[in-house]
């Protein structure tokens, strides 16, 4: 049997675990952690086989991200975020694929997708300026997907608004070194990027709506189920898998910590039914969140694989379940962490780091339940949502 990325990660878990506290201190992944992830092929799981990737299924991808996050939270987060970018690049123009992967199939690509750039059309492409926040793992990436709004030649946003994803090499944007001073997920190094009046050739530009409606993958001629999966399933999958994995890591650390602990009343935790009940219930909640996320992704995979349409109603229900899974797991650790006593607050203990990182994971836009729940409920009632209710679905 061929060794998987997960197998290779678990073989190096001791070294990978050591990189977590150091990443928190540095404000980015350690070079050693990145070397381990590259050797394992962490970011190549969704990469096309034509460029050295593995084209794994959604379960294998999610489970590998979860396991990595449980060992080293920021590494798992970067795995979940940066790991989806090869999936999107597989649909891009072959020229930019060759630019990125031609010499090094292990080249990492950053983001973010927020349309903070203004792309003005010129001969052969666009000129763009802007500033973007939350570029996870960016110190170790050589390219970036950046969101922009398409403008007319006078610099005004076109109507109807058109969002673009532009692909930019490292030498054409700046990383703002001191822009990631945060309470959680510090080790992800999710810094700001800046571009000033940079030329973007047309072949490095993708329209966001064409990613959503599937026309981008059809134009690329990709028939694999993996690449025909909806954007609204694949992009959130890695982020939620990382968040749940961090919660699994906290649970494991708490179980290890509580094993020989005596509480303030002089009772061994092994003899404390109240704490044991809470820990058992929380463990079940985290396990349930894990399975809900994976089952949802696999059900959508089965629809796509069978050549069936994944309707807006089904995509909205999938996003609802994905968001719920993240919140369920994080709420579960809120029942575990306080029961670990005052010593667990110490900064030299790992529990506080997992707790901070898991809560920070909920702050990502894809974990906002408001419009997602609203759209899912309306769709279930046979009402077609419009406008902002369709965002990221």
pLDDT digits (tens, 9 = 90+) for 69-83: 999 999 999 999 999
Residue 149 token pair: 């709004």
pLDDT of 383 higher than 80: yes
Q: Which residues contact 371 (CB under 8 A, 6 or more apart)?
A: 388, 389, 391
20 — pLDDT class (breaks 50, 70, 90): very high
Residue 204, φ and ψ in degrees, nearest 5: -100, 20
pLDDT of 200 higher than 70: yes
pLDDT recorded at residue 93: 97
* 251 close to 290: Cβ distance less than 8 angstroms: no
pLDDT recorded at residue 323: 98
Say what percent of the chain tops pLDDT 90.
96
Say what percent of the chain tops pLDDT 70.
100
Structural domains in the chain plus CATH codes: 5-101 (1.10.540.10), 109-207 (2.40.110.10), 229-390 (1.20.140.10)
pLDDT of 149 higher than 50: yes
- Identify how many contiguous H helices and E strands the chain contains and give both numbers: 15, 8
**What's the CA angle centered on 364, arms 181 and 296, to 5 degrees?**
150
Q: Which residues contact 141 (CB under 8 A, 6 or more apart)?
A: 82, 108, 109, 110, 135, 170
Residue 90 token pair: 């597989």
pLDDT digits (tens, 9 = 90+) for 108-133: 999 999 999 999 999 999 999 999 99
1 — pLDDT class (breaks 50, 70, 90): very low
Average pLDDT, the chain: 96
pLDDT digits (tens, 9 = 90+) for 224-265: 999 999 999 999 999 999 999 999 999 999 999 999 898 888
Length of the chain: 393
pLDDT recorded at residue 264: 83
């Amino acid at each position: 049997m061929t060794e998987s990325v997960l197998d290779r990660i678990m073989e190096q878990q001791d070294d990978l675990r050591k990189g977590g506290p150091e990443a928190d201190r540095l404000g980015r992944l350690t070079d050693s952690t990145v070397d381990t992830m590259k050797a394992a092929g962490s970011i190549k799981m969704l990469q096309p086989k034509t460029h050295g990737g593995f084209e794994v299924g959604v379960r294998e991808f999610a489970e590998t991200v979860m396991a990595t996050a449980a060992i080293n939270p920021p590494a798992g987060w970067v795995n979940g975020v940066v790991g989806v970018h090869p999936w999107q690049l597989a649909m891009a123009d072959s020229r930019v694929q060759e630019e990125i992967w031609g010499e090094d199939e292990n080249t990492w690509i950053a983001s973010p997708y927020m349309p903070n750039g203004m792309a003005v059309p010129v001969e052969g492409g666009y000129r763009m300026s802007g500033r973007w926040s939350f570029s996870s793992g960016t110190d170790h990436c050589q390219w970036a997907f950046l969101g922009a709004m398409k403008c007319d030649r006078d610099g005004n946003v076109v109507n109807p608004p058109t969002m673009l994803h532009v692909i930019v090499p490292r030498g054409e944007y700046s990383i703002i070194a001191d822009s990631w001073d945060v309470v959680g997920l510090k080790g992800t190094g999710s810094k700001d990027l800046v571009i000033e009046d940079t030329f973007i050739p047309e072949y490095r530009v993708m329209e966001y709506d064409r990613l959503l409606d599937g026309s981008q993958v059809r134009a690329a001629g990709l028939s694999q189920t993996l690449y025909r999966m909806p954007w609204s399933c694949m992009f959130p999958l890695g982020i939620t898998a990382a968040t749940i994995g961090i919660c699994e890591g906290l649970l494991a650390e708490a179980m290890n910590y509580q094993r020989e602990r005596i509480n303030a009343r002089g009772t061994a935790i092994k003899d404390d039914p109240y704490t044991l009940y809470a820990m058992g219930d929380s463990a079940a909640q985290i396990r349930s969140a894990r399975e809900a996320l994976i089952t949802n992704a696999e059900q959508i995979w089965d629809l796509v694989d069978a050549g069936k349409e994944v309707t807006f109603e089904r995509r909205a229900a999938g996003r609802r379940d994905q968001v719920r899974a993240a919140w369920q797991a994080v709420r579960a650790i809120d029942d575990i962490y306080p029961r670990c006593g005052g010593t667990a607050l110490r900064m030299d203990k790992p529990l506080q780091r997992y707790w901070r990182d898991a809560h920070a994971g909920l702050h990502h836009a894809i974990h906002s339940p408001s419009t997602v729940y609203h759209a899912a409920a309306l769709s279930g009632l046979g009402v077609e949502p419009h406008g902002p209710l369709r965002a990221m679905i």
